[in-house]
Amino acid sequence: MTAMQLRLLFFTAGLTILAFGVTLTIKGSVLGVGSWDVLHIGLANYALTIGTWSIVTGFIILLIGTYFTKRMPKLGTWVNMLFVGVLIDVFNALLPNVTTQSMQVLSFGVGIVLLGFGCGMYIVADFGAGPRDSLMMLLTERLGWSVTASRTTIEVTVACVGFIIGGPVGIGTVFMAFGLGPIVSRSLQFNQKLFQQLCKETYAVQSH
């Protein structure tokens, strides 16, 4: 496996895991959902689907990011925006609704871990961060904030806006707002080490 193939694997696997995690948190919405999904669900009350709003808000964020950075987003950023939005709708249609409270709690808990892990995994591939993660990285670079501080600030702000327009907020939303940043940060560290190790092993095999 070449380094490029390894990057593609991390990118596609990370986005798929992320989208699956988002869907699980939506299925466990008795606790509330993630901050961005509070916004997407609130907007979906008026028109379109959750996945479609994910794409629309992502596009708006990309425009804002392009204005401040004076750089066009990488191709992977556009792929991310479309791929994740479509996958959320697909997983949402395929997965059954969770009816018991205990299973909703489990679904939400597993979902937030997968979401954070997938986020760190695809960022390591360096094909371009998704719109929301690009915003996180922009704050980190421009303001010197940590990944945790940047992510938490964004999550809290978006959750408040989503709540105002009718999105479901609960204890899980609060946990997501303050807990997702550390999960993403640890996932980045883990996946960077994993990627580097796999690159070394790939190079060693090709050298023989």
Q: If 0-12 CB within 10 Å is exposed, 13-18 middle and 19+ buried, where does residue 203 land?
A: exposed
- Tokens 């993630």: give the residue: 34
Residues 158-175: b if buried by 16+ CB within 10 A, e if exposed:
bbeebbeeebbbbebbbb
Whether the Cβ atoms of residue 66 and residue 135 lie closer than 8 Å to each other: no
- % of the chain beyond a pLDDT of 70: 97
Q: How big is the CA angle at 130 (ends 75 and 24), to the nearest 5 degrees?
A: 130
pLDDT, one tens digit per residue, over 141-192 is 888 888 888 888 888 899 899 999 998 888 888 887 788 888 988 999 999 9
Length of the chain: 208
